């Protein structure tokens, strides 16, 4: 990050900050605003969009930002730029028309709204850094293709586990090692958690019950590991991943993997449940160089053949601004779906689903998401978790059963499903 901080200092000295617009002022958007305004030189928040203007105002006041403007026209953004004040609005069209905003931070966690908004940003010539792993897991290849088509830049952001593990993955590769496992350390997983069980936790941490339910029921980690796979050309060992449960350090869990099998697959994404250090990420890598192996042993990394590298934390919005600077100033993508869809997040019934039931979506009462290799998912015609919401069950589905396309009625979402499946044809042409 030394290059990034020096570049931002230079921008600050030259009074040429990166001008950021934030979409969504939930916990992560609020954190990013605080981070940029108070701790990031050479960058400023020019605009903030939220559907509820009062929430945007309350966000600023809670952070001690009492001087801001309410957008009445595009002139307000110009005034905000000149006076170095953030401009708040609940008018998305007005926000996106602001020429001064050069990069948008998409922080909503919504799939349909997030997709529409990001595509509009591209059409308006704006770069995008997203904190939306759910969207990236569903439409990542299409978003990447559209960014290229419109001549703009796109990346998923640092701070969440995928960004942190990709940084580590790149570092490990730079040292000449072969990454074979990209892992995520999870403290809790209970597929049957619901917004009711998670309501108190959500309130404590200023998040929505559905969002924290997706953390607990395994959907979020599945989205995170799917986008990691799609950025590294990796796959999964089995449906749902191996998910070793242990209170040991991740350094001590390498024996659960067979190096030859990992090489045959081209590497896998996985997770460890209850392991240390949590909540962090890890990469297991190997080397065939005896000289390297000798000095890895000297460095206390053991005898191999798998060597453990890890980061003992992920810092959410604290690190997100790094990705903005890397993308804008260095054309450096933290991660995107470079290799198309290698792993999908499929929907599994959280309870018995009866014919006629209209199902909810991410972090709800009806289903949870798990990782599956894309080729197997397509063979079984499984439903992508990100598109299940509002579909109707037309054939009873038992608890813990993967939901197939023949089990649901799309209820007007055929265009989204067509777009999702078209990505596989698009990928073949890359």
167 and 296: one domain?
Answer: yes
The predicted pLDDT at position 421 comes to 95
DSSP state for residue 384 in the 8-state scheme: B
Measured over the CA atoms of residue 228, residue 231, residue 234 and residue 239, the dihedral's sign is: positive
Exposed/middle/buried for 351, CB within 10 Å: 0-12, 13-18, 19+?
middle
**Torsion, Cα of 18, 224, 145, 158 (10° steps):** 20
* Among candidate residues 77, 230, 69, the one with its CA nearest the CA of residue 140: 230
Residues 3, 95: Cα–Cα separation, whole Å: 31
Query: Residue 426 — very low, low, confident or very high, per pLDDT cuts 50/70/90?
Result: confident
The H or E element that residue 344 is part of is strand 343-349
Least reliable range by pLDDT among 163-167, 258-262, 341-345, 422-426:
422-426
Exposed/middle/buried for 341, CB within 10 Å: 0-12, 13-18, 19+?
buried
The predicted pLDDT at position 2 comes to 76
Count of domains forming the chain:
3
Residues 288, 336: Cα–Cα separation, whole Å: 29
Measured over the CA atoms of residue 161, residue 167, residue 172 and residue 178, the dihedral's sign is: positive
**Residue 277 counted as domain residue:** yes
235 and 247: one domain?
Answer: yes
**Residue 335 counted as domain residue:** no
The predicted pLDDT at position 218 comes to 96
155 and 26: one domain?
Answer: yes
The predicted pLDDT at position 81 comes to 96
301 and 363: one domain?
Answer: no
Domain end call among 278, 300, 330: 330
198 and 169: one domain?
Answer: yes
Q: What is the CATH number of the domain that holds 44?
A: 3.40.50.720
89 and 189: one domain?
Answer: no
Question: Is the distance from CB of 145 to CB of 324 less than 8 angstroms?
Answer: no
**Residue 373 counted as domain residue:** yes
3-state secondary structure of 375: helix
Task: Please give the residue range of the domain that contains residue 349.
Answer: 343-422
pLDDT averaged over every residue in the chain: 96
Query: Residue 428 — very low, low, confident or very high, per pLDDT cuts 50/70/90?
Result: low
The predicted pLDDT at position 205 comes to 87
Tens-digit pLDDT profile for residues 231-257: 999 999 999 999 999 999 999 999 999
The predicted pLDDT at position 1 comes to 63
Query: Residue 226 — very low, low, confident or very high, per pLDDT cuts 50/70/90?
Result: very high
**Residue 83 counted as domain residue:** yes
Tens-digit pLDDT profile for residues 56-87: 999 999 999 999 999 999 999 999 999 999 99
235 and 262: one domain?
Answer: yes
**Residue 428 counted as domain residue:** no
The predicted pLDDT at position 430 comes to 44
**Residue 338 counted as domain residue:** no
The predicted pLDDT at position 429 comes to 43
427 pLDDT more than 70: no
Query: Starting at the edge strand that comes first in sequence, how are the strands of the sheet with 281-286 ordered?
Result: 244-245, 268-273, 178-186, 281-286, 307-311
**Residue 336 counted as domain residue:** no
Tens-digit pLDDT profile for residues 25-44: 999 999 999 999 999 999 99
6 and 48: one domain?
Answer: yes
What would the two tokens of residue 146 be? 């559209």
133 and 167: one domain?
Answer: no
Tens-digit pLDDT profile for residues 352-407: 999 999 999 999 999 999 999 999 999 999 999 999 999 999 999 999 999 999 99
247 and 116: one domain?
Answer: no
In percent, the amount of the chain with pLDDT more than 70 equals 99
The predicted pLDDT at position 278 comes to 85
Q: Model's pTM, two decimal places?
A: 0.95
Q: What is the CATH number of the domain that holds 381?
A: 3.90.1210.10
88 and 166: one domain?
Answer: no
**Residue 429 counted as domain residue:** no
* Among candidate residues 365, 107, 317, the one with its CA nearest the CA of residue 213: 365
90 pLDDT more than 70: yes
Tens-digit pLDDT profile for residues 275-300: 999 899 999 999 999 999 999 999 99
């Amino acid at each position: 990050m030394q290059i990034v901080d020096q570049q931002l200092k230079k921008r600050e000295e030259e009074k040429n900050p990166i001008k950021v617009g934030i979409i969504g002022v939930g916990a992560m958007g609020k954190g990013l605003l605080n981070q940029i305004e108070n701790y990031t030189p050479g960058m400023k928040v020019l605009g903030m969009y939220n559907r509820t203007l009062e929430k945007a105002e309350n966000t600023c006041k809670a952070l001690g930002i009492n001087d801001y403007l309410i957008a009445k026209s595009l002139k307000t953004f110009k005034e905000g730029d000149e006076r170095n004040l953030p401009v708040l609005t609940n008018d998305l069209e007005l926000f996106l028309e602001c020429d001064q905003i050069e990069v948008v931070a998409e922080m909503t966690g919504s799939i349909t709204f997030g997709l529409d908004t990001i595509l509009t940003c591209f059409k308006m010539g704006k770069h995008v850094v997203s904190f939306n792993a759910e969207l990236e897991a569903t439409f990542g290849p299409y978003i990447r293709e559209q960014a290229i088509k419109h001549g703009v830049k796109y990346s998923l952001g640092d701070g969440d586990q995928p960004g942190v593990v990709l940084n580590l993955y790149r570092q490990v590769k730079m040292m000449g090692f072969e990454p074979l496992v990209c892992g995520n350390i999870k403290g809790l997983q209970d597929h049957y958690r619901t917004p009711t069980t998670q309501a108190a936790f959500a309130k404590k941490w200023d998040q929505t019950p559905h969002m924290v339910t997706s953390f607990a029921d395994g959907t979020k980690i599945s989205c995170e590991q799917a986008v990691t796979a799609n950025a590294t050309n990796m796959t999964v060992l089995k449906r749902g991943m191996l998910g070793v449960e242990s209170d040991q350090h991740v350094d001590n869990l390498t024996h659960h993997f067979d190096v030859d099998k990992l090489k045959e697959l081209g590497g896998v994404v996985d997770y460890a449940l209850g392991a240390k250090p949590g909540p962090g990420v890890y990469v297991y890598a190997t080397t065939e160089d005896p000289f390297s192996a000798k000095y890895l042993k000297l460095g206390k990394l053991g005898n191999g053949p798998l060597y453990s590298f890890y980061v003992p934390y992920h810092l959410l919005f604290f690190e997100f601004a790094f990705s903005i600077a890397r993308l804008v100033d260095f054309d450096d993508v933290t991660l995107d779906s470079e290799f198309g869809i290698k792993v999908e997040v499929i929907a599994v019934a959280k309870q018995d689903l009866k014919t006629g039931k209209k199902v909810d979506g991410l972090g709800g009462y009806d289903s949870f998401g798990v990782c599956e290799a894309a080729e197997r998912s397509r063979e079984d015609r499984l439903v992508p978790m990100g598109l299940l919401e509002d579909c109707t069950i037309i054939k009873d589905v038992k608890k813990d059963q993967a939901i197939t396309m023949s089990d649901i009625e799309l209820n007007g979402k055929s265009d989204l499903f067509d777009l999702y499946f078209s990505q596989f044809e698009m990928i073949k042409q890359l």
